Structure 1
C-alpha cells in the first residue's frame, strides 16, 4: 500500500493503474502536478485550460458575425457591469471596505466623460481616460473615513457618497449636468469610426472588460493584493506585520472607484444620455449582489455575477409583456418591483446557503474531474 501511494504521489498513477489491471482508467491520472513555482503561479496552468480560454475568446470575437443585436446588447451591458463589479470586488471583496455607494462613482465617471465630450468638445478617448481618474480621486475623498471607522459606520460614510453625488450635486449644477432632462452624449468615435451600433461598440466594451479583468486578476497576485487581503482578514495583524494599512485602504478606494469611473464613461456613451436616475441606490445594492452571488473576493466571481444579473434582468424584461398579455390586470409597476425583488431574494439565498458564490460551485466541480477517480462528492 505504501509503494502504491508513493507511486501516485510521484505522478505515476497511470502506470500504477495499468500494472494493476485497471485498463479502463490507464489514461486518467489523478491531479495535476507542478515542478516549479512559476508553473504553480501561472494564471492558466494546463494545456486544456489554454485551449478553453482561446476557444472562448475566439467565440467572443466571432459572435458579432451572427448579427443578433439582442444578444450583443446583453453582452455590452454585461461588460459594463463587469467592469463596475470588478472595482467593487477589489474594494470590498479583497480589501474588506464595504461600499454602499458604488453607483455614485459610476455616476461621476459618466458625468465627467459626458461633460468633457459634450460641453467641452474633447474627443471620446480623452473622456474615457480622464473620467476614471476623476472618479478615483473622488473615491479617495470619500474613503478617508475608512482610516478611522469600519463596518456599519463605513457603510454610512459610503452611503453619504450616494446621496451627495447622485441625489444632490447633479441637481445643483444646473445646465452643466442637465439633471432634470438628461444630458445627451455623443456615441463613441475612434479614428473617424463612429461606434453607433451594438456590433460596432461590442469590441470596445468586451475588449475593455477583458483587459480590466486581466488587471484585476493580477492585482490579487501582487504584493498590493496580498496587503489588501491581510487588511480584510485582520487589519491590526497587518499593521503589526508592517503593512501600511491607511495607504492601502485609500489605494483600494482609488482602484475600485477607477474601475467604476471607467464603467460610467462607457455607460454614458453607450446609452447616449446621462441622468442621476440611472445611478440610484438600487444599482449600488445590485453591484454588491453581483460580487456576493458570483463569489466575494474572486475575480472570476465578479464576472460571473455581472453576467448572471444582467441576463436575469433581461429575462425579466422579456417575460413582462408575455405575462401582461396573460394577466391583463397586472400593472407595469409589478414588473418594476420584480426587477428589484428577485435580485434581493437571490442575494439573501446565496448569503445563507452559498456564501462563497457560484464560482465556488464551479471550483468544486472542476476539482472533482481533476482528481477523479480519487475525488469524493461532498
Structure 2
C-alpha cells in the first residue's frame, strides 16, 4: 500500500469496502485526530465555544446533506426540524423528568416522524415545488412554537437544566466548554461515521439512485416511495439530534434560534462544502461557522481606521456571506470537498498534469 497512488486497484471485496486505501489517508486521519484531541488544551473558552457550535452544525449539516445532496430532495425546513428536536428534548427532560439521554433519543425519533410527515409532498413534487413545500413546513413549525403557549408556559422561551447523565453533570464556567467539547466531538464523529457507512448499504445506494434518476431507479426495483420517506426520516433524525444538543448546550430555547435564516444557513453549509459528500458537509459547517468570526475580527481590527466596518457589521456579514455562496456556485459548484480532491490529485499526479 503506497503512501501516494496514481490509481487504486482492489483485489478483494474487503479491500474495496475499506474506507481508506492508501497510507496518506491514514496519515491524514492520524493528524486530524491529533488536532481534535489537542484542541481543548490549546484553545481558550471563547474558541472552544465556537468549536462546540461548529460540532453541532456538523451534525445538522450531515443530516441535511443526506436529504439534499444524496437523495436530491431540496429542503428549506431545517430550522423547523431543529426546533422540534430542541423543544421536545427540553420538555421531556425538564418538565417530564425524563433522563436526558432518553429525552434526546425520543426527540430524535419525534423529529424523524415530523420530517417524514412533511416529506410526503416529496412523493409528488420535485425541485422548486418541493422547496416551497418544505418552506411551508418551516413556516408552520415556526408559527406553532411562537404561538403555542403550552410549549413555554407563556414565557416565550424555555430554560433547560444543565446536562446531567447519571451521576455526571457538566461543570461550571471553568470546565463547561471543555466538557461539552468532548461530548459533542464524540457525537459528531459518530454522526459522520454513521452517515458515511449508510451509503455503503443498499438503503444508501437507493437514495443515490433516486437522486440520479427516480424513474430509472424504480425500473430496476428501487422502492422510490420508501427511499424518499426514509431519507426524510434519517435526515430529520440527525437534525433533531442537533436541535436537542443546541437546547442542552445553550440551556435556553427560544424561537429566534430556529428561523428561516437558520434553514438557509444550513443549506449554505452543504452548498459551500459540496453536495453529495459527507466530508463536504463537515468542511461547509466549519467554513460557514468560522466566516462570521473572521469577518468580526477583521472589522474589530480595522475599527480605528474604518469605523464603517463596525457600524455596518451585520450588513457586511450578509453581503460577504452571499458573495461567498455565489462565488462557489460559479467557480466551484462541487464545493470545498472538490477543491480538496483536486489538491490531492495534483500531489498524486505531479509532475504530470493529469
Relative to the length of structure 1, the TM-score reads: 0.87
> 2:270 corresponds to which residue?
291
Find the residue that maps to 1:94 and give its secondary structure. Answer: coil
Find the residue that maps to 1:274 and give its secondary structure. Answer: strand
> 2:188 corresponds to which residue?
209
> 1:145 corresponds to which residue?
121
> 2:339 corresponds to which residue?
361
Is 2:54 the counterpart of 1:75? no
- The 3 A distance-change label for structure 1 pair 233 and 28 is closer
Q: Which runs of 5+ in 2 are unaligned?
A: none
Distance 1:330 1:355 in 2: 30
Is 2:22 the counterpart of 1:43? no
> 2:135 corresponds to which residue?
159
- The 3 A distance-change label for structure 1 pair 142 and 179 is farther
> 1:3 corresponds to which residue?
none
- The 3 A distance-change label for structure 1 pair 339 and 122 is farther
> 2:350 corresponds to which residue?
372
Q: Which of 185, 208, 214 is residue 229 of structure 1 equivalent to?
A: 208
Report which stretch shifted further, 271-280 or 340-349. Answer: 340-349
Q: Which runs of 5+ in 1 are unaligned?
A: 1-10, 15-26
Distance 1:300 1:336 in 2: 29
Find the residue that maps to 1:213 and give its secondary structure. Answer: helix
> 1:91 corresponds to which residue?
67
> 2:152 corresponds to which residue?
177
Q: Is the 8 A contact 1:31 1:371 kept in 2?
A: no
Distance 1:269 1:310 in 2: 19
- Rg bigger for which structure? 1
Write the deviation string for residues 16-50 of structure 1: whole angstroms up to 9, x where unpaired: xxxxxxxxxxx987544432232133111123322
Find the residue that maps to 1:212 and give its secondary structure. Answer: helix
C-alpha displacement of 1:93:
0.2
Q: Is the 8 A contact 2:8 2:21 kept in 1?
A: no
C-alpha displacement of 1:323:
4.5
Distance 1:119 1:207 in 2: 27
Relative to the length of structure 2, the TM-score reads: 0.92
Q: Is the 8 A contact 1:132 1:259 kept in 2?
A: yes
- The 3 A distance-change label for structure 1 pair 40 and 372 is farther
Q: Is the 8 A contact 1:87 1:260 kept in 2?
A: yes
Distance 1:140 1:179 in 2: 29
> 2:91 corresponds to which residue?
115
Distance 1:313 1:208 in 2: 24
Find the residue that maps to 1:98 and give its secondary structure. Answer: coil
